[in-house]
Chains A and B, each alone.
Chain A
């Protein structure tokens, strides 16, 4: 029997706190889970630095990837199976893309990518198409299969229905992470009736649509997304940890560029400091490795790097104040000058943070075709955009809400042993 159709003798299950069980019957899926590139996801947290705010948020991208796979499996095996617009031949492609959609994520990937100008999507592509165990498994299905999977994940595959299962405004990825992140953080916001949503899903030529009778379940999902955004993803303490992490990486990069002699040589970072980062280098750099460096860099001679690492490791985070950049951008220049006078480098210790710097989004009705919206399907088979039918969704998608904060080390500013007057001026400007 051809590899793509081979099944395990017995179904394997993974116990999962969100979906109860993850069911695996396909040999291809079982083999992909066993690859070293996929196993690496156990060492990359799903929510980055959020564990410093919500201590339960230690779950990994491995958990999440299995969860996305399970949701897609339920859709293609149960919900779509007998639907005429669903082509059963697309089943394995959908499952593999779901399982591998995050395989290129690196350690603390949001900050890491910003500092080193790399892109996890590019690494996902390289893992699927390059000389890897994942590629070896996928190629056994068909030599062209890795390319197909990469295109679905990259959203450039011509089968838009399959793409929309994994990447759209209501996809398996979001449905898993909202529930999983809510479960592990312990908040009560991210819950919605996924079973109901799955029951009202219908395949269309270009995307998944939802029966109008299921609108309230979809509304609930949109509300969960909105609340999780503000309550978890953009939590100011998590942002503070993210600011610190980003500054550690910036400092290490800066020192690397200056040819600084590290007491503990950052072997895992050397190639990226030189701009010669290969896939193999990337795969070696997980969060365990990164945290090891933060641990040893606490003893570095460079006072900025060691201080930032001590703060991160011991959770001595920066404090923050609300900041209105439109009215206060001149004040920011003043603060920068005062920080310099106080011998506190503003590049590392006075950090402005905006809600636009976040890899999560709200629902967008896509009024000008900039994004594909969620469509409800009436009994007459007509499609209607969600926010036009739901006043709740209209209320939250029509309003712009943004947020800006200024982060700084309050302990430095309160330390009266040096530059007391200047620090007093800073505190006064920050109103602390």
Chain B
């Protein structure tokens, strides 16, 4: 199928009226991938947590194709990007064969969270093979400037469990590509 990986992203955008912020978008897709949604973008750990250059490029391609609308707006001392799906994007999604029934709820849920919190959640997931105390240490050292608290880290763990319970059926994901 043509543009299968792009179609999965379009599926994520279609669930939300708008996604505000590139950082937020990066973390949402990373978290979805870690929840076993079949995104193929490769992520690496960067200064601000998991980041995928492949995802950045695909989003640029979707904008150039006219499937996504990007608005760049000045906000204080920096720029912020807002993304919405276009009519062409919706038509493309109808044509694609990608079906991920649970994705919509998970994406809407994550989109309701702050970018700061999703950065924490994605960092916890990046270190998911380490014990809780080591993850805490990693966050306090690697993310010292963000000044996350122990309570926030506990909340991140709870949030991951909640996402898994609600959107990742344990037996069969029912996803088809």
Binding site for B on A (CB under 8 A): 119, 121, 154-156, 158, 160, 206-207, 324-326, 329-330, 332-333, 352, 354-358, 361, 364, 367-372, 400, 402, 404
Q: Known pairs A369-B23, A372-B46. 19 more at Cβ < 8 A?
A: A119-B42, A207-B47, A325-B6, A326-B65, A326-B88, A329-B95, A352-B2, A354-B61, A355-B57, A358-B57, A361-B53, A367-B22, A367-B80, A368-B21, A370-B22, A370-B48, A372-B47, A400-B63, A402-B61
B57 CB contact (under 8 Å) in A207, A330, A369, A402: A402
The verdict on B17 contacting chain A, using a C-beta distance below 8 Å, is no
A371–B66 CB distance below 8 A? no
B54 touches A155 (CB 8 A): no
In Å, the complex CA distance between A369 and B118 comes to: 13
Instruction: Report which of B56, B63, B64, B81 forms a contact with A364, defined as CB distance below 8 A.
Output: B56
Interface residues of B (CB under 8 A from A): 2-3, 6, 21-23, 26, 42, 44-48, 51, 53-54, 56-58, 60-61, 63-67, 78-81, 88, 92, 95, 115, 126-127, 138, 141-142
> Are the C-beta atoms of B63 and A325 separated by less than 8 Å?
no
A325 to B7: give the CA distance in the assembly, Å: 12
* Chain B: CB-nearest residue to A323: B2
Most buried by B among A121, A364, A369, A372: A369
Q: Give A407 to B133 CA distance when docked, in angstroms.
A: 51
Taken together as a complex, chains A and B put the C-alpha atoms of A410 and B2 apart, in Å, by 20
Q: Known: A355-B61, A400-B63. Contact between A368 and B2, CB under 8 A? A: no
* Bound form: Cα–Cα A404–B5 in Å: 14
In the bound complex, what is the Cα–Cα distance between A417 and B14 (angstroms)? Answer: 47
Q: How far is the CB of B63 from chain A (nearest CB, A)?
A: 6
Complex contact A329–B92 (CB within 8 A): yes
Interface of chain A: mostly helix, strand, loop or mixed: loop
- Cβ-defined contact, A156 with B45, below 8 A: yes
**Chain A residues near B80 (CB-CB < 8 A):** 367-368
Nearest Cβ in chain B — how far from A305, in angstroms? 22
Give every chain A residue within 8 A of B26 (Cβ-Cβ): 370
A417 to chain B, nearest CB (A): 29
Contact between A400 and B53 (Cβ–Cβ < 8 Å)? no
Closest 4 CB pairs of A and B: A326-B65, A356-B57, A372-B47, A158-B141
In chain B, what residue has the closest Cβ to A332? B2
Tell me the minimal C-beta distance from A158 to chain B in angstroms: 4
What's the least CB distance linking A159 to chain B, in Å?
Answer: 10
Contacts of B44 in A (CB 8 A): 121, 155
Q: Given A325-B2, A402-B60 in contact, is the A156-B142 Cβ separation under 8 Å?
A: yes
Contact (A371, B46) CB under 8 Å given A326-B66, A402-B60: yes
Of chain A, the residue at the smallest CB distance from B42 is A119
21 contacts between A and B (CB under 8 A): A121-B44, A156-B138, A206-B47, A325-B2, A326-B64, A329-B2, A330-B95, A333-B2, A352-B2, A354-B58, A356-B54, A357-B54, A358-B57, A361-B53, A361-B56, A367-B80, A368-B115, A369-B48, A371-B46, A371-B47, A402-B60
How far does the alpha carbon of A324 sit from the alpha carbon of B65 in the complex, in Å? 8
CA distance A354 to B2 in the complex (A): 11
Taking a contact as CB atoms under 8 Å apart, the answer to whether A356 and B58 are in contact is yes
Is A371 a contact of B3 with CB atoms below 8 Å?
no
User: Could you tell me if A368 and B79 are in contact, using CB atoms closer than 8 angstroms?
Assistant: yes
Contact between B78 and A352, CB atoms less than 8 A apart: no
Cα of A404 to Cα of B46 in the assembled complex, Å: 28
Please report the C-alpha to C-alpha distance between residue A315 and residue B64 in the assembled complex, in whole angstroms.
Answer: 33
Measured in the bound complex, the distance between the Cα atoms of B167 and A371 in whole Å is: 29
For the complex formed, measure the closest distance between the CB of B65 and the CB atoms of chain A, giving whole angstroms: 4
B51: A residues at CB distance < 8 A: 370-371
Q: How far is the CB of A176 from chain B (nearest CB, A)?
A: 19
The docked-state distance in angstroms from the alpha carbon of A154 to that of B23 is: 20
